[in-house]
Amino acid sequence: MKIYLAPMEGITGYVYRNALHNLCNGKIDKYYTPFIAPRPKKGMHDRERRDLLPENNQDVSLVPQILTNSAPDFTNLATEIHELYGYQEINLNLGCPSKTVVSRGKGSGFLSNPKELDHFLMQIFDQRDKKGQQYDISLKTRLGVSDPDEIWNLLSIYEKYPVSELTVHVRVQSDYYKKPARMSYMSEIKNRYPGELAYNGDIFTVENYAKCTDVQEMPLMLGRGVIRNPFLPLMLKGVDVENQEAKERLKVFHKAIYEGYQADMDIVPVIFHMKELWAYIGDVFVEADKARKHLRKAKNRSEYEEAVREMFHHDIDLKKNSALGN
Ligand SMILES: Cc1cc2nc3c(=O)[nH]c(=O)nc-3n(C[C@H](O)[C@H](O)[C@H](O)COP(=O)(O)O)c2cc1C
C-alpha cells in the first residue's frame, strides 16, 4: 500500500516533511506541498521557493501543488517548477473549500463550472506537450460542490486526459472538513474511472482504516490523521510502534520542527505554527486537557516550552480513538 502526505497549508512545509520522513524511516511514498497560487507578475514568494528548493527536500519524493483556474498561469508555473527544480509531477488543486478561493472559481469552486474545467484541462495538457515538457499532471478533486453525484460528470471529463493520478477527497465543497467523508463513493469511482486513483479523507487510526473496505490496497493520501499521529503511516504499513518509545521519538520530532521553524521565522510565527500542530498531536496524549490548554494559551517562548514539557509528562496512546473524526 502506498501512503502520501496530503498538502496542508501552514503545516506540511519542508521542515515538517523532513522531520516526518525521519520519523517514518522513509515509509511515506510521496509528499505534496501546500498549494502555490501563481502570481504572474510577481513570481513565487520566497517562502514558496524555499519550500521547493531541492536542498530542502533531499530524501523525499515531492509533488508541488498549484491552485489556479488560468491555464497559462498553470503552464508557466508548472514549467518553471519543473525546469528550475526538476520535479516530475505537478498537482492541480480542485478541492480547496475556502470561501475566498471558491468565490474566484478556483479549488473546489472550479468544479461548479465543468465546461471551463474541461477546457482548462485540454489547454494545460496541450501546452505541456507543445512545449515538449515531460512533467506529469495529477489532480486532487472533491466529489463536487454541493451534490456528491457531480463526481460522475467530473470523472467523464478527467478521463479524457492523461492525468497521471486522480486523488479523490470524498467530500463536497459544502462539507468543508467537518461532515464525514463519503467513503462509500470510492468503490463506484473505482468501477467507473479507468486511470490511477488515490483515496483521501478521514483515515485516523489503523482500526478505522481496517473498516474501510472500499479503499483497501489503494494509495492513501493522509492529512489530519498523520498530523495527529505521525506514526500512522508506519502503523498502517504493519510496523508495531510501542507507546513509550514513540513518545521519546516524538520529542525528537518536535525538536526538529521547533528548531527548523526557528531557522526560518521569528519566534511569534514559530509559536503560532507549533500551536497549530499541537491542536492535532495533542489528541494522542492521555488525560492532557490541562496541558493542552496551557499550550493554547502560551504567548511566548518560555510559556510555550513549559507547556510542551508539561505535555510530555503525559503518556501517549497511539491506538486511541480520534477526537478529530470517526
Ligand atoms: C489546515 C488545512 C490545510 C489544508 N491545505 C490544503 C492545501 O494546501 N491543498 C490541498 O489540496 N488540500 C489542503 N487541505 C486538505 C487536505 O489535503 C485533505 O484533503 C483533507 O484534510 C482531508 O484529508 P484528511 O481527512 O486525511 O485530513 C488542507 C486541510 C487542512 C485541514
Last residue of a domain, one of 236, 267, 296: 236
Pair 145, 267 in one domain: no
Q: Which residue has the higher pLDDT, 214 or 198?
A: 198
Question: Residue whose CA is closest, atom 28 of ligand 1?
Answer: 8
Pair 148, 256 in one domain: no
Pair 219, 262 in one domain: no
From the CB of residue 228, how many other CB atoms can be counted at a distance below 10 Å?
Answer: 24
List, for residues 20-46, the tens digit of each pLDDT value: 999 999 899 999 999 999 999 999 999
Provide CB contacts within 8 A for 84, sequence distance 6+: none
Question: Residue whose CA is closest, atom 22 of ligand 1?
Answer: 201
Tell whether 318 is covered by a domain: no
User: What is the span of the domain harbouring residue 279?
Assistant: 243-312
From the CB of residue 143, how many other CB atoms can be counted at a distance below 10 Å?
Answer: 28
Q: What is the pLDDT of residue 325?
A: 65
Asked if residue 326 has pLDDT above 80, the reply is no
Kindly list the protein residues whose Cβ atom lies closer than 6 A to any atom of ligand 1.
6-11, 34-35, 65, 93, 95-96, 140, 169, 177, 200-203, 222-225
pTM: 0.97
Pair 28, 137 in one domain: yes
Mean predicted confidence (pLDDT) in 149-174: 98
Tell whether 325 is covered by a domain: no
Question: Residue whose CA is closest, atom 2 of ligand 1?
Answer: 8
Last residue of a domain, one of 203, 236, 269: 236
Pair 256, 231 in one domain: no
Last residue of a domain, one of 236, 265, 283: 236
Q: What is the pLDDT of residue 91?
A: 98
Q: How far does the centroid of ligand 1 lie from the alpha carbon of residue 200, in Å? A: 9
Write the CATH number for 104: 3.20.20.70
Question: Residue whose CA is closest, atom 12 of ligand 1?
Answer: 7
List, for residues 203-260, the tens digit of each pLDDT value: 999 999 998 888 998 999 999 999 999 999 999 999 999 999 999 999 999 999 999 9
Pair 43, 109 in one domain: yes
Mean predicted confidence (pLDDT) in 52-65: 97
